[in-house]
Amino acid sequence: MELELTDEQKMVQKTAADFAKSEVLPKAAEIDRNHRHPKELVARMAELGLMGVAVPEEYGGAGFDTISYVLAMEEISRACASTGVIMSVNNSLVCDPILKFGSEEQKKKWLVPLASGQLLGCFALSEPEAGSDAAAQKTVAKKTADGDYLISGVKNWITNGPVADVCVLICMTAKELGHKGISAFILPMKEKGVRVGPPDKKLGIRGSQSCQIFLDDVKLSPSAMLGKEGDGFKIAMATLDGGRIGIASQALGIARASLEDSLAYAMERRTFGKPIAQHQAIQWKLADMATELEGARLLTWRAATLKDEGGRFSMEAAMAKVFASEVCNRAAKEAVQIFGGNGYVEDFPVERHFRDAKITEIYEGTSEIQRLVIAGNLLKE
């Protein structure tokens, strides 16, 4: 693993950082306050190649690597976690599985516009009774006499759902086979029978709209299937492995925002006749935040490197995700403490970081699930 970034990676990082600082950060508080999908920022990310960072140029992407994607995600999420996760879902949960498992026709039809930002995607795996237990799918795709599929069911907490154009959908095609009877489809969100519920009212990442999706006898042709029948669980798990790298990167961004905002505040806020940065109690908090952030970043870069090398990275992605998300939450908590009473009001950014941080321990696999993944890999060795 190379710890020195390439010139190309540095360029991606600088592009994302400049955009985040000049265009995203000034709008972050308003986006959160109004629960607003930042359509204009998504369009700008598309222009900058950030909606398909690691997708080859022939399929509409920027043609960079996963490390570049991680760098860009951290920069965007440092400014606005909501904007970061919109980018993450399109890259990790939509473009990536279509690139890996899609037919050439599907790549041309869907991947090109998704990776270039002409379309926005979502990923539908979770259900009212299938969250951590992803194999407990109740959404069913029944094959008809003419060979098409009729799909019925409900999907929960679908990030980008209210604003998405296309969905990577996971559902049952052969219930009697258990997880081996799960398949994946590419679903146009305008398809007849697709109903989108109202946006969820959330604690954090309020600008990232999510919702329930209701599927009422949605008719799809066999050409809409991603991979082969029965490949859905494998596709979902492989997709989540990559997605966890994206969420680890989002957590890095939130943790860094917490640290940087705390540093700036600690230099200005004075108690007992001196800046609070000169109090040892505050210094130790800052030191722990910075140290843990660096550790989380290295774990995330390692997982991204393994993904680029084409080998297995499930355990490393889980390690990165569980550690980065918990570091993120500790950093946000300490940031509120450093800000004191000011940390508890909307006039200062750390209360937003505190609310945004929690979700990183939950979506794309809870911290408990990450530990099961890690333990399962250890016990195989």
Q: Which of 268, 364, 368, 381 is catalytic?
A: 364
CA distance 309 to 235: 19
Question: Does 148 fall in a domain?
Answer: yes
- Identify whether 364 is a catalytic site residue: yes
The number of residues making up the chain comes to 381
What is the extent of the structural domain holding 333?
Answer: 237-380
Domain total in the chain: 3
Asked if pLDDT for residue 1 goes beyond 80, the answer is no
CB 32 within 8 A of CB 82: yes
At 190, list the tokens. 């305008």
Mean pLDDT of the chain: 97
Q: What is the pLDDT of residue 2?
A: 62
Res 229: pLDDT: 97
What is the model's pLDDT at position 3?
79
Whether residue 2 lies inside any domain: the answer is: no
pLDDT in tens, 18-39: 999 999 999 999 999 999 999 9
User: Are residue 290 and residue 196 in the same domain, yes or no?
Assistant: no
- For residue 26, count CB atoms less than 10 angstroms from its CB and return exposed for 0-12, middle for 13-18, buried for 19 or more: exposed
CA 187 to chain centre: 20
CB atoms within 10 A of CB 337: 14
Say if residue 186 is in the same domain as residue 203.
yes
In this structure, the answer to whether residues 104 and 130 fall within a common structural domain is no
pLDDT at 141 over 90: yes
| Residue 341 pLDDT | 97
The band of 59, judged by pLDDT with boundaries at 50, 70 and 90, is very high
> Over the stretch 224-260, which tens digit does the pLDDT of each residue have?
999 999 999 999 999 999 999 999 999 999 999 999 9
Q: What is the separation of C-alpha 189 from the centre of its chain, rounded to a whole number of angstroms?
A: 20
CATH number of the domain encompassing residue 180: 2.40.110.10
Q: The CATH number of the domain where 60 resides is what?
A: 1.10.540.10
Last residue of a domain, one of 204, 233, 262: 233
In a domain, 339, yes or no: yes
Say what the pLDDT of residue 295 is: 98
Q: Is 305 a domain residue? A: yes
The stretches of the chain forming alpha helices (DSSP H) are: 7-19, 25-33, 39-47, 66-79, 81-88, 96-101, 104-106, 112-115, 232-268, 280-309, 314-339, 350-358, 367-380
* pTM for this prediction: 0.97
CATH number, domain containing residue 251: 1.20.140.10
The DSSP call for residue 143 is E
